[in-house]
Each structure stands twice: as C-alpha cells, then as structure tokens.
Amino acid sequence: AGAAGAMLAVAGTVIQRVSGNAMASPEVLGISAGTGLGVLAVVLLMPGAGVPVLLAAGMLGALASLAVLVGLNARSDYEPERVLLTGISVLFLFDAVAKIVLAGGDPRTQQLLAWISGTTYYVELPLALTVAVLGLVLFALIRPLQVWLDLLPLGMPTARSLGVNVGISRLLLLVLVALLTAGATLVVGPLSFVGLLAPNLVRIMGLARARHQLAGSAVLGALVMVMADWVGRMLLFPSEIPAGIVATLIGGSYFMWRLRRL
C-alpha cells in the first residue's frame, strides 16, 4: 500500500506539471484502465497465473494505453489538452470493456471486483516487493528529469527557449507515468485518487519546486494509502473496507476542508 501510494503520488505530480493542470491525475490518462484490462485478460485466459505474468500483463495494458496516446498526439508534440482528452476517451473505452466482461458473471472475475475497489486483500509478498523495487527504479529515473518538470509548466515557448525539447521530454515523462501507474494499479487496483490528492496537498503546504513536490508527494501518498489500508481493516473488523475507497473518503474530505480554509 505504501509503495503504491508513493508511485501514484509521483505519477500524479509528473502529469500535473507536464500538463500544467492541477486536476490531472494518472487515471485521466487511461493508464489505470489499460492496466486493469491487461490483468482482466490474464485472469480470464490464464487462471492461476503467477506474479510475473500478472505484472507483465498489467504493464502491457498500460503501454497499450500509452501507445494510443502517443499515436494520436505525436503530431501536436503531446499538447496537454489533447493528451488529457485522449486519455479520458481511452479510460471510458477500456472501462466499458471491463464492465461488459464483469457483468457476464464469470466466477473467475469475482476476485477482481474487490481489486477494482482498490484493495490490498490479495497482494502477496512477491508482488509487493516487485512493485516496491519497480517504484524505486522509476523514482531514480525521474530524478535527472526534474529540471524538465520545473520548466514545462512555464509553457511551450518558454521551455523551448530554455533548451528543452518539449516533444521528447513530454514523451519520456508520459512513459514513466505509465509505468508508475501500472505498477501501483497491480497492488491497489485502478482507483488512483491519491495521484490527484497528494500533489495538490503538497503544493498547498508550500512545496512548489519539482524536487520538493516529488519527494513530498511520495511521502504523503505512501502515508495516505497505509493509513487507509489500516483504517479499512480495523474500522469494521472483522469486515474490511477496500483501501482505495477509504483513501478517497478520507482524502477527499480533507481536501475539501483544506481548500475551504484557503
């Protein structure tokens, strides 16, 4: 839960800075839906598949979503508005396909219903460790790119005048967002509200530079998901509430309260 929360928060920070839109988040790109569709395909076609297969399927689903985004937006140098609109279209398309399959009542899909709600019920140690290591590797890859994240929000003309290849930088950052989101989605499902919540809360706290916002978002995202997982397991014990739902309830309520005080 901690690793997934940190990955989603970092992915949200990157996409918000690349797009210049504080309402952007990983699920808006359709990456979470693509990951879910990949996992769903494995559950239906390869019952009992191991962690490596699930991880590979989720990554392929995420990269398929990214391929659609790249194919439709390459000519515009990945203009943020077009990328977000394309991502929303991919999200609804993949989500519709997943719902059609789940509505079929196949018993093999019952385990996915809890996963879609954002649960860690079925996460075992190998998957948790794999995702945590993946997160650390991707964080290390993002660190050298922090200067792009400081310059891209200034706008395309300014970033280009300062020597940034806008098209290449946006593409590389989108690939990292896709991988971060895919890894986190495998653990907590396609609910990635923390990817919207954490970057905005960190910005409200005064961490505006890319380096500080990334670090703060990672810590806050991990704390939110761990707390949500614990509350979900303890609040109605022995019954459990999925961590994704608890994170959305707690985070959304706090977010609105904090905005009201500004």
pLDDT digits (tens, 9 = 90+) for 59-111: 788 788 888 888 887 777 777 778 788 888 888 887 787 777 777 766 666 66
Q: Are 198 and 220 in contact (CB under 8 A)?
A: yes
Residue 50 pLDDT > 90, yes or no? Answer: no
Q: Are 214 and 146 in contact (CB under 8 A)?
A: yes
Mean confidence (pLDDT) of the chain: 81
pLDDT digits (tens, 9 = 90+) for 1-21: 899 999 999 999 998 888 877
**In terms of Cα–Cα distance, which of 64, 54, 13 is closest to 201?**
13
Residues 6+ apart with CB under 8 A from 137: none
First-to-last CA distance in the chain?
A: 30
pLDDT band (50, 70, 90) for residue 261? low
Residues 6+ apart with CB under 8 A from 51: 124, 126, 127, 130
pTM, entire model: 0.86
Residues 6+ apart with CB under 8 A from 55: 127, 130, 131, 183, 186
Instruction: Write down the pLDDT at residue 192.
Output: 64
Instruction: Write down the pLDDT at residue 137.
Output: 93
Residue 175 pLDDT > 90, yes or no? Answer: no
Instruction: Write down the pLDDT at residue 110.
Output: 66
Residues in the chain: 262
Instruction: Write down the pLDDT at residue 211.
Output: 87
CA dist., res. 201 & res. 206, Å (int): 9
pLDDT digits (tens, 9 = 90+) for 24-33: 788 777 777 7
CA 89, 210, 213, 188 torsion-angle sign: positive
Instruction: Write down the pLDDT at residue 109.
Output: 66
Q: What is the DSSP string of 26-53?
A: GGGGTHHHHHHHHHHHHHHHSTT--HHH
Per the listing, tokens 């977000």 go with: 84
